[in-house]
A and B are shown apart, each in its own frame.
Chain A
């Protein structure tokens, strides 16, 4: 046990976990997050709070994570290498732990030219593997400089993997490197290509990596064929099978409502399928601007009610003695 977070305990007990995803608001409104928390409470085990996703400025992941805790859900703070250098990243980890955030997902981050500040300078001081290593070292009580962290944070560290981008061999090797650097769980890009995902999982199992890390497969509910076609053409590193696009295109009238129904159906089917893939420890549902659909998907996939982990025997962090 590293952090003792609810999310970590469930994974270590061998439960099939469900993660949600929430985009922080593009404004200074706390209630936007607290309101959305209602969709996730008792429905998912943890929620990812994105860090300026697609390089568009939003409330910070740390700030929204704190509000998520207030809203009664467990956050997974995302931390990218695009916006911060190594000093800011380490200080963010310290603040996050002090605020009660126990899970962190280390990412490289989308390139700034895709967002709403295309002229910005990306930091890219260290890469995601090095960030995972840095957080892991902080857990052990050392900053990147070698100085002591007193007291050290205890973070449950995550990394990302994209099984769909080329070259496939490199994707497994990259995963191996992230595990060696100290990753505890891995979240993947949304799956719309089951054969490719299974091929990747097979290589992962062959290397025995599924025993060393919890692999959480991503799924994305979509509202129509347009979203999938857009992703296939404009989001590099995605693989989408034609089957899903034709299914969404060939729905009966009224198109909009039926396409939404079909989108939910596809998502539920994918979750059911991924649950049976050996080595998959959970699913990560990432609706884009459609968080309200999460409860329905989790229910239809038969993943409710969510299990409760066994209580911790020893508190994860020993309370410090009060000064006399």
Chain B
């Protein structure tokens, strides 16, 4: 991350109101567009801009064995399986290879915090617009 973004992250740590504003701004965009679940460690750009936390089992590394043949979820038959969507959208973007990336367990301390600020502070994975997986590990520190 650049000096500018690090500066924003530092500023938000001192000024809580700024962090709240960022969080609210993020929710206004992400909730209606991606049905954001507010985990605070966004992996949208790794999964074809589809949030895996919408899965009832919150699986971040691939589908369970219960995807129906029409691509619907085993728990909620009226919904599409989120991993079916991730696969379809990643394929459309040419990002299937990026799905091979292993995602570390969710740090529950990040829940209900701004993923943008977390990213600027280098606490979570940076955005990725490449089709290939990189070896970058999530720093996973508070």
Contacts and interface: CB of A to CB of B under 8 A. Distances in A.
B32 interface: no
A125 interface: yes
B62 A165 contact: no
A227 interface: no
Contact of B102 (A124, A160, A169, A181): A181
Contacts of B63: 165, 170, 174
Given A111-B74, A173-B100, A130 B87 contact: no
Contact of B57 (A124, A160, A173, A174): A124
A237 B67 contact: yes
B74 A169 contact: no
B74 to A, nearest CB: 4
Contact of B68 (A109, A113, A236): A236
Interface string B57-83: 111111111111101001100000001
Interface string B74-101: 1100000001100110000000100110
Contacts of A108: 57, 59, 64-65
A130 B66 contact: no
Contacts of A86: 105
B104 interface: yes
B84 A166 contact: yes
A82 B59 CA distance: 11
B105 A237 contact: no
Interface string A150-192: 0000000000111001110110011011001100000001000
Contact of B83 (A81, A124, A129, A170): A170
A213 to B, nearest CB: 16
Contacts of A165: 63, 65-69
B56 interface: yes
A113 B75 contact: yes
A189 B74 CA distance: 15
A133 B87 contact: no
A177 B61 contact: yes
Interface residues of A, number: 36
A11 interface: no
A276 B91 CA distance: 34
B63 to A, nearest CB: 6
A127 B106 CA distance: 10
Interface in A71-94: 81-82, 86
Contact of A177 (B102, B104, B106): B102
Interface in B83-141: 83-84, 87-88, 96, 99-100, 102-106, 108
A25 interface: no
Interface string A95-128: 0000000000000110101000000001011111
Contacts of B96: 169, 173
A217 B63 CA distance: 19
A293 interface: no
A144 interface: yes
A145 to B, nearest CB: 11
B67 A130 contact: no
For the complex of A and B, list the 10 residue pairs with the smallest distance between their C-beta atoms, beginning with the closest. Answer: A162-B65, A236-B74, A129-B61, A174-B62, A126-B105, A236-B66, A165-B67, A127-B59, A111-B75, A236-B68
Interface of B: 56-69, 71, 74-75, 83-84, 87-88, 96, 99-100, 102-106, 108
